[in-house]
């Protein structure tokens, strides 16, 4: 299975200032989460849970690097 992703970046002072991806979330969830993603990856509940976890991990990363 191929999951095509379109990524757009905006750079400021040599660093990534903005990053946006566009892709088929259900296809991604099927690959990343296995059977759960295949069965439930299309639901807003799964999408919201993935977004919350990603946001929390990003905040942890930013906090741990002092930025």
Whether 1 maps to a domain, the answer reads no
Whether 8 maps to a domain, the answer reads no
Phi, psi of 5 (to 5 degrees): -125, 130
Whether 42 maps to a domain, the answer reads yes
- Domain enclosing residue 39, as ranges: 24-67
Whether 18 maps to a domain, the answer reads no
Determine contact, residues 11/17, Cβ cutoff 8 Å: yes
Output the average pLDDT for the chain.
Answer: 93
- The domain tally of the chain equals 1
pLDDT in tens, 28-59: 999 999 999 999 999 999 999 999 999 999 99
> Rounded to the nearest 5 degrees, what angle is found at the Cα of 43, between the Cα atoms of 39 and 46?
85
Report how many helices (DSSP H) and strands (DSSP E) the chain contains, helices first. 3, 2
**H or E stretch covering 58:** helix 44-64
pTM here? 0.73
């Amino acid at each position: 299975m191929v999951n095509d992703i379109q990524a757009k970046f905006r750079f400021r002072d040599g660093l990534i200032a903005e990053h946006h991806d566009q892709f088929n979330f259900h296809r991604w969830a099927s690959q990343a989460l296995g059977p759960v993603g295949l069965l439930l990856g299309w639901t807003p509940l799964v999408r919201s849970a993935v977004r919350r976890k990603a946001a929390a991990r990003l905040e942890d990363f930013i906090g741990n690097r002092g930025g």
